[in-house]
Copies of this chain bind each other. A is one copy, B any other.
Amino acid sequence: TLSEKDGHSSTQSSHRLLAFSDSLISIIATVMILPIAHTKIQQDQELQKSLQQLLATKISVYLVTFLIVTVAWAAHIRLFQVIERIDDVLALLNLACMMLITFLPYTFSLMASFPENPLGILLFCGCAIVIGLIQAGIVLYGFSQPYLLIDHIQISENQNYYKYQILKVILRVPVFCFLAGIFAFIFFPLAYILLALVIFYPYLSQTLKWCCNKALGQQEEHNETMLLYTYHPKEPLSKERVEAFSDGVYAIVATLLILDICEDNVPEPSEVKERFNNSLIEALHDFGPEYLAYFGSFVTVGLLWFVHHSLFLYITKTTRFMGLLNTFSLAFIGGLPLAYQLTHEFEEKSHNELEAIQISCVIIFFAGIFQMAIWVTALFNERETLHPYVRYRGKEHAFMFAKLSIYPCVSLSTFFLTCILSEFSTPIFHLMEIIVPFAFLALRILVRIALALLKLVFCPSKPIHNSVE
């Protein structure tokens, strides 16, 4: 019929819609670090004390917001792994969904500021319920126009089974949230527990199932096509979207740094006249450490992106568990603007300065170590998830390992240096950050030398055997 043909003509590939959603969600998840980074810390206080205050509320708000937003993002991926093509109606529904997702951080800030007031929970639950209903609407609309679905559901005979399976998973969230909203009036700690359950339920049920299987000695059954919407750790996660989300986080973190410089470090013309005898160079000289901090931090963010990029080049398939590790790595990357603020806020050679450097090292270390963890996870199932070059005994294997270990090693050794040397200062730290790229450039040579040395040490007497290999 004409109307169906019409519908087909306006069907669109969902690629750009998803890229837009990814950058929107990644930015929302990351910018929540700004209110923390802009918290003024009094110079006379010890950093440790004010940090404890910060840690207690704001950093946990940031981390939980990051987690909640990434959970919403994972649900979004899952949804659009089933619905492959879009039309105008779906695009508009998706925008409505995005609007509510960007509002989640605000409702969560309210919950953190007024933990005993039910209003924050109610608002949060309200948003979550509406998001869930919109997603259910998207699923219903998608199944009513089957040409929008992925091929293997489109040709499948039990479309209805898939439909109810997916709706069941999606509608679980609104139901839990509705209950939480009711309990917010009666006994609010229970409401928080219910909300935590929404996030962790799939993980808990999966862990329980895994434990049961191990205890009973049963073998798990694998069925590629059935893995969608199962919350299984090996459930495939669109690699393209994981990359797009990560790119968004790295890009916004790199930008937040320069934004601070542009807002704070352009001197006022009147001040330059009065304090510095009209000499702009002298006025800017005061900001020297800021510039160094900026370049140092940008280099760190840029290279961590570079490592991520190199890693995902050789990953052929991403699973949910790898996505989770990636989220943790990104949450620490999002903390880098805080590290940047801290390292140039304190006087030189103070106790605070050393602690600020240590915090930066911890953040960089965890960002790097979770990247390494992604690789290790991939190695466990290397036939499915890795390119032959970087598999164990592959020719890029050692090189990839070296690339991934640079940042954890450098940050760990810097951390211990700050414990030993009291002379260590922020400018040295930032200079170290700027020198790291040269380590990357020289890496290929260094790895070759190291491998040659290893060969020489462990099998020095079999040169002929070696060359035959």
A contact residues vs B (CB 8 Å cutoff): 9-10, 12, 16-17, 19-20, 23-24, 27-28, 31-32, 34-35, 38, 88-89, 91-92, 95, 98-99, 102-103, 105-106, 109-110, 113-114, 117, 119-120, 243-244, 247-248, 250-252, 254-255, 258-259, 261-263, 265-269, 272, 280-281, 284, 294-295, 298-299, 302-303, 305-306, 309-310, 312-313, 389, 395-396, 437, 440-441, 444
CB-nearest residue of chain B to A28 = B255
Copy tally for this chain in the complex stands at 2
Contact partner, A99, options B31, B299, B312, Cβ 8 Å: B299
Contacts of A250 in B (CB 8 A): 20
CB-nearest residue of chain B to A444 = B88
Contact partner, A269, options B91, B114, B247, B310, Cβ 8 Å: B114
Q: Is B23 a contact partner of A23 (Cβ separation < 8 A)?
A: yes
Contact partner, A102, options B9, B110, B244, B258, Cβ 8 Å: B258
Contacts of A109 in B (CB 8 A): 262, 266
- Give the Cβ gap from A445 to chain B, nearest Cβ, in Å: 12
CB-CB under 8 A for A440 and B92, given A113-B266, A243-B16, A258-B102 = yes
- Give the Cβ gap from A38 to chain B, nearest Cβ, in Å: 8
Q: With A114-B272, A252-B252 given, name 16 new contacts (CB 8 A).
A: A9-B396, A20-B309, A23-B23, A23-B247, A24-B254, A24-B255, A27-B252, A27-B255, A31-B259, A32-B262, A88-B306, A92-B440, A99-B302, A105-B258, A119-B281, A119-B284
- Bound together, the chains give a CA A314 to CA B105 distance in angstroms of 36
CB-nearest residue of chain B to A105 = B262
CB-CB under 8 A for A114 and B20, given A262-B32, A389-B9, A441-B92 = no
Contacts of A295 in B (CB 8 A): 99
Return 19 A-B CB contacts under 8 Å, by A number: A10-B396, A16-B247, A16-B309, A17-B309, A19-B243, A27-B251, A34-B259, A34-B263, A35-B262, A91-B306, A92-B441, A95-B302, A99-B299, A102-B254, A103-B294, A106-B262, A106-B265, A106-B266, A117-B280
- Give the Cβ gap from A52 to chain B, nearest Cβ, in Å: 19
Contacts of A119 in B (CB 8 A): 280-281, 284
Q: Is A251 a contact partner of B23 (Cβ separation < 8 A)?
A: yes
- Bound together, the chains give a CA A267 to CA B261 distance in angstroms of 28
Q: Is B280 a contact partner of A114 (Cβ separation < 8 A)?
A: yes
CB-nearest residue of chain B to A114 = B280
- Give the Cβ gap from A33 to chain B, nearest Cβ, in Å: 11
CB-nearest residue of chain B to A32 = B262
Q: Is A298 a contact partner of B259 (Cβ separation < 8 A)?
A: no
Contacts of A248 in B (CB 8 A): 23, 251
- Give the Cβ gap from A298 to chain B, nearest Cβ, in Å: 5
Contacts of A120 in B (CB 8 A): 280
- Give the Cβ gap from A314 to chain B, nearest Cβ, in Å: 10
Contacts of A28 in B (CB 8 A): 255, 258
Contacts of A17 in B (CB 8 A): 309
Q: Is B303 a contact partner of A255 (Cβ separation < 8 A)?
A: no
CB-nearest residue of chain B to A123 = B284
